[in-house]
Amino acid sequence: MACPICSKRPVKRFCPAKGESICAVCCGTEREVTIDCPSNCTYLQAARRYEAEHPRPTTRDDVPYPDVEFSPDLIHERRTMVSGFAYHILMHHAEDRDTVDADALAALAALAETFRTLAGGILYEKPPDGGPSRGLYTALAHFVEEFRKGEAEKGALAPIQDIEVFYVLVFLLRVGKRQTNGRPRSRAFLDFLRAQFPRAAALQPEPQRIILPE
């Protein structure tokens, strides 16, 4: 039987996303590109392990805000906000299964720029144009507002500052850039967050994208 994607090579492995067998070449080239792979696909997991063992070279251009420096202690001190951002990213992913790494990174980048300008005394907001990233941007911005209200109600001695929110967002951006593989339908960063924040992940099970064969 010929592969349903290329119509040339013989089928070799079952694709849970398509609900039928495809050839190994199409599995490798179309994975997370035209095929919306579920996170529990064994071939996807094997590919991610290989990529982790053979990381691609990174350059200064690959690092978001390369000139920005902050202490690791800040991230530890503001870990509640870090986990809050992760929680809302995962919840948005559960509500909109089309959300991919690129959407999460676009929302984080836009919000980081908002808080960068706020820290400089100017409000300049440019959310993503639309799609999952726009909705996620709104959810994350609302989370920051609620977080600050909670701090005020508790009488926090050192409420979080705009520059600190910016640093936390830059941290998450850098983690996301490092975790994603850059393919259009990659959810490697989202799966990384799910593994790092199991309490948040427990509230939003992985969306079902597996097509069972008839």
pLDDT in tens, 151-208: 998 888 889 999 999 999 999 999 999 999 999 999 999 999 999 887 665 655 444 4
The pLDDT of residue 209 is 46
The pLDDT of residue 200 is 61
The pLDDT of residue 58 is 85
Block residue for tokens 């960063």: 189
Regions in the chain scoring below 50 on pLDDT: 205-214
The pLDDT of residue 141 is 97
Dihedral of the alpha carbons of 23, 177, 58, 182, in degrees to the nearest 10: 30
The pLDDT of residue 61 is 86
187 vs 78, 144, 174, CA distance in Å? 25, 24, 15
Return the exposure string of 130-142: e unless at least 16 CB atoms fall within 10 Å of the residue's CB, then b.
eebbbbbbebbbe
